[in-house]
Amino acid sequence: MRVLITGSRGQLGRALVDLVRSHGWQLWAYGLPEFDLADVGAVQEAVRTAQPEVIFNAAAFTAVDRAEEEPEAAFTINAKAVATLAGLANEVGALLVHLSTDYVFDGQSQRPYREDDPPNPLSVYGQSKLAGEKAAAQARKHLIVRTSWLFGRGWNFVEAIRKQLLNGAGELRVVGDQRGRPTYAEDLAGALVALVRAGASGVFHIANSGETTWAGFAREIVAQLGFSVPVVDITTEEAGRPAPRPRYSVLDTQKFDSTLKPLPPWQQALARYLRTINR
């Protein structure tokens, strides 16, 4: 199989590159700083040269707070570039696998969000990702996957907590009124490849099993790293972040779970991740 990956140096991109290589598939991997998804000419050349059967778009403008100040940059990468990829996917006959986010929802639900629930993003980031979903859906063959609270090789929430612990923090203050599902990039990559191999299409929600708050996530990180530092719950308002966040963004993954099988609990995924960085 001929595969092209954008965002190859991101958390998901790195996991996808390794997995695709392990399958022995032909791979074209592109990432910053050499490859900018905003460069239409470069994107066209990459896709037309590779003639891929599958395009994994793992590139995104993910700086949620910065997107409030730089909406044009967010929409350029998260929506306009996706439209370019969708057009190229149609040109070469490729399946476009596009990654989206729980931030397309407003957090007002009383139950986990299903794929057919109406999106209502609160932030510029969420709005740009929703626009990207609509662009990706213009590809005749598309797979749109929403995920949440990603961690893997690179900078992420786990690393932020670990850095504070290693720097001698005596207390951690973490938001306790936002709820979601942590997701390990390695598990997500495996799920994406499995869906492609199964011939799946449409919209899927994928996340590791179980749910928690950011504070609960932090407590598990602290415990698994063997520290005894207390984690104090704070409110979203106390955190004072510029971009609004959904208070409840738990994704319902029953569609994926019934198509293949549920991903492992996020606590187990965290343990596997921590073993990789402590080798």
Q: Is a pLDDT exceeding 90 seen at residue 34? A: no
Q: Does 103 score more than 90 pLDDT?
A: yes
Q: Is the pLDDT of residue 279 over 70?
A: no
Which amino acid is it at 126?
A: G
Instruction: Tell me, yes or no, whether 240 lies in a domain.
Output: no
Q: What percent of the chain has pLDDT over 90?
A: 96
DSSP string, 30-91: E-TTT--TT-HHHHHHHHHHH--SEEEE------HHHHHH-HHHHHIIIIIHHHHHHHHHHH
Tens of pLDDT, residues 194-252: 999 999 999 999 999 999 999 999 999 999 999 999 999 999 999 989 999 999 999 99
Name the domain count of the chain: 1
**Per-residue pLDDT averaged across 6-21, rounded?**
96
Question: Strand, coil or helix: what is 203?
Answer: strand
The proportion of the chain whose per-residue pLDDT surpasses 70, expressed as a percent, equals 99
The active-site residue, picked from 103, 113, 125, 273, is 125
Domain that holds residue 43: 2-156+181-210+251-264
Phi, psi dihedral angles at 137 (to 5 degrees): -70, -10
Confidence at residue 33, expressed as pLDDT on a 0 to 100 scale: 82
pLDDT tens, position by position, 129-140:
999 999 999 999
Per-residue pLDDT band at 277 (split at 50, 70, 90): confident
**Model confidence over 47-94: pLDDT tens digits?**
999 999 999 999 999 999 999 999 999 999 999 999 999 999 999 999
Angle (CA) 45 47 49, round 5°: 65
* Res. 179: pLDDT tops 60: yes
Rounded CA gap, 59 and 7, in Å? 4
CATH number at residue 17: 3.40.50.720
Supply the angle between the helices 40-50 and 81-92 in degrees, to the nearest 10.
Answer: 20
In the block, which residue shows the tokens 């439209």?
Answer: 83
Mean of per-residue pLDDT scores for the chain: 96
Task: Tell me, yes or no, whether 260 lies in a domain.
Answer: yes
- Is 125 one of the annotated active-site residues of the chain? yes
Domain presence at residue 22: yes
The amino acid sitting at 34 is: E
Residue 35 pLDDT > 90, yes or no? no
Q: Is 161 among the domain residues?
A: no
